[in-house]
Amino acid sequence: MSSIEQVMQKISELENNAVELMKSIVPIKALGPLNNGEGETAKAEYIIKYLKSIGLSDIREYPAGDKTVPGGKRPNMTAILDGENKNRTVWILAHLDVVPEGDRSKWDTDPFEAVVKDGKIYGRGTEDNNQGLVSGIIAAQAFLDLGIKPKYNLGLMLVSDEETGSIFGLQHMVKNHKELFKKDDLIVVPDAGEPDSSMIEVAEKSILWLKFKTVGKQVHASTPEKGINAFKAASHLVVELNKLHTMFDTKDEVFDPPISTFEATKKEANVPNVNTIPGEDVFYLDCRILPNYTIQQVMDEAGKMCRDIEKKFDVKIEISIAQKDEAAPPTPVDAPVVKALEKAIKHVYKVDAKPMGIGGGTVAAIFRRAGYHAAVWSTLDDLAHQPNEYCVISNMMNDAKVFAHVCLNG
Ligand SMILES: [Zn+2]
């Protein structure tokens, strides 16, 4: 039997270990202080004990100081299983923290007890992100049990604080422990995905919400010549802003839809009666911008349009930012981590996975901003943060096989 097949079979045999590990960690409430919890230390300590028990010896801790939790520290750690080629590490990044259970009455089981039923494990954190965490550990355990060295190092990186900003987690690691990551490393973040394993998330759009406040002059509607209709001027601006679609018209088929979008959305109420010409108007524009453009470029063009409308209608227009999140540089669709995942997913799931872009907001952006090509992938029903969150046991085991495959083939 090839070493790949041996490892795949071994992972299947470790299913009970995976389920037991999940059962042990779900009750250890790892809530960050911003979620009124005491942090992730107890969970991290349990996992370190487990990692030692399976024979992983290279475990290092990188705590981030946080006075708002007992002990004053948020745990972060790496556990490394040496490969034949020690110059490249396949990182599996998972987060230790979970979110609160939310409305308890919507749960059919105790959210902080792992309940196994019909091939699933129910409980808060089972899918987000214990599944990825356990899959990574089980992949390492299979190599250790068999005494097989992967081609590349298997690096587990377990961090705090993903659910409340990552300041004490991945941001801390990337900022203060840059030496851990090498240029050729493969970084996998198993924290989002599709039920059919087909999505490898590599990019995100920038998000920009703009508020436009137009000021004219309020008068009686029977004498419009005495006032300035702010609503009418703003309506012309709405039409003008639609030209952003042609100004920023790059297509990128990695995204769905493959274009930047600029949509007028919310409209604040103006005058309460029909026979008054509104002297003030407020509306909003929701922009989702492909990463090849900057937010500033869009702001500049929108600003010019406002100046034109101001001249034409004798109004004053104020633009302000209601929300802004600049996209990280995308991971190339042919980056080694993407190629390795595609191969592994094909082998394990018999699925042709595709690199894709999403609307925004994964922890992988922190890696990408620091210059690393991270890919987000796992097999999920997407129940994160919901009541009756569960993880599908077969997904947990098969995702472990994908990680092992990447370490053996890279
Ligand atoms: Zn998560």
- Residue 339 tokens read as 């190629």
Which of the listed residues 264, 290, 325 is the one where a domain comes to its end?
325
Q: How far is the CA of 385 from the centre of ligand 1 (A)?
A: 9
pLDDT digit string (tens) for 213-263?
A: 999 999 999 999 999 999 999 999 999 999 999 999 999 999 989 999 999
The pLDDT score that the predictor gives to residue 358 is: 83
Verify that 295 and 342 share a domain, yes or no.
Answer: no
The pLDDT score that the predictor gives to residue 1 is: 82
Euclidean distance between CA atoms 296 and 302, whole angstroms: 10
| Upstream peptide bond of 257 is cis (omega within 30 degrees of 0) | yes
Euclidean distance between CA atoms 249 and 118, whole angstroms: 48
pLDDT digit string (tens) for 350-396?
A: 999 999 998 766 789 999 999 999 999 999 999 999 999 999 999 99
The pLDDT score that the predictor gives to residue 156 is: 98
| Close Cβ partners of 121 (under 8 Å, ≥ 6 residues apart) | 19, 22, 23, 26, 114, 115, 390, 391, 393
Residue 362 has a CB neighbour count (10 Å cut-off) of 18
**pTM (two decimals):** 0.86
Q: How far is the CA of 257 from the centre of ligand 1 (A)?
A: 24
Q: What is the CATH number of the domain that holds 399?
A: 3.40.630.10
Residues annotated as catalytic (active site), given as ranges: 97, 162
Verify that 49 and 117 share a domain, yes or no.
Answer: yes
Verify that 290 and 167 share a domain, yes or no.
Answer: no
Q: What is the CATH number of the domain that holds 239?
A: 3.30.70.360
Euclidean distance between CA atoms 114 and 120, whole angstroms: 10
Look up residue 329 and give its DSSP letter. P
Q: What is the mean pLDDT of the chain?
A: 96
User: Token match 């690096």: residue?
Assistant: 155
Verify that 314 and 337 share a domain, yes or no.
Answer: no
Backbone angles phi, psi at 34, to 5 degrees: -70, -15
Q: Which of 142, 122, 123, 106 is nearest to 17 (CA)?
A: 142
Q: How far is the CA of 30 from the centre of ligand 1 (A)?
A: 13
Euclidean distance between CA atoms 279 and 213, whole angstroms: 11
Distances (CA, A) of 246 to 113, 259, 364, 391: 53, 10, 30, 43
Q: How far is the CA of 191 from the centre of ligand 1 (A)?
A: 5
Verify that 181 and 218 share a domain, yes or no.
Answer: no
Verify that 128 and 58 share a domain, yes or no.
Answer: yes
Q: How far is the CA of 364 from the centre of ligand 1 (A)?
A: 11
The interaxial angle of helices 393-409 and 336-349, nearest 10 deg, is 130
Verify that 296 and 375 share a domain, yes or no.
Answer: no
Backbone angles phi, psi at 254, to 5 degrees: -65, -25
pLDDT digit string (tens) for 44-96?
A: 999 999 999 999 999 999 999 999 999 999 999 999 999 999 999 999 999 99
Q: How far is the CA of 127 from the centre of ligand 1 (A)?
A: 8
Verify that 314 and 403 share a domain, yes or no.
Answer: no
Q: How far is the CA of 313 from the centre of ligand 1 (A)?
A: 49
Cβ–Cβ < 8 Å for 206, 325: yes
The pLDDT score that the predictor gives to residue 409 is: 87
pLDDT at 14 over 90: yes
- Which has more confidence, 166 or 410? 166
What is the biggest distance separating any 2 CA atoms in the chain, rounded to whole angstroms? 89
Verify that 100 and 197 share a domain, yes or no.
Answer: yes
Q: How far is the CA of 46 from the centre of ligand 1 (A)?
A: 20
Number of structural domains, the chain?
A: 2
Verify that 310 and 279 share a domain, yes or no.
Answer: yes
Look up residue 315 and give its DSSP letter. -
For 8-37, what is the mean pLDDT? Answer: 98
Which of the listed residues 262, 292, 325 is the one where a domain comes to its end?
325
| Close Cβ partners of 248 (under 8 Å, ≥ 6 residues apart) | 260, 262, 289, 290, 293, 297, 298, 301
Which of the listed residues 263, 295, 325 is the one where a domain comes to its end?
325
In which domain, by residue range, is 26 found? 3-203+328-409
pLDDT digit string (tens) for 173-201?
A: 999 999 999 989 999 999 999 999 999 99
Verify that 158 and 273 share a domain, yes or no.
Answer: no
Quick one: what percent of the chain has pLDDT higher than 90? 96
Q: How far is the CA of 207 from the centre of ligand 1 (A)?
A: 20
Q: Which of 207, 307, 304 is nearest to 263 (CA)?
A: 207
The pLDDT score that the predictor gives to residue 410 is: 67
Verify that 222 and 317 share a domain, yes or no.
Answer: yes
Q: How far is the CA of 97 from the centre of ligand 1 (A)?
A: 8
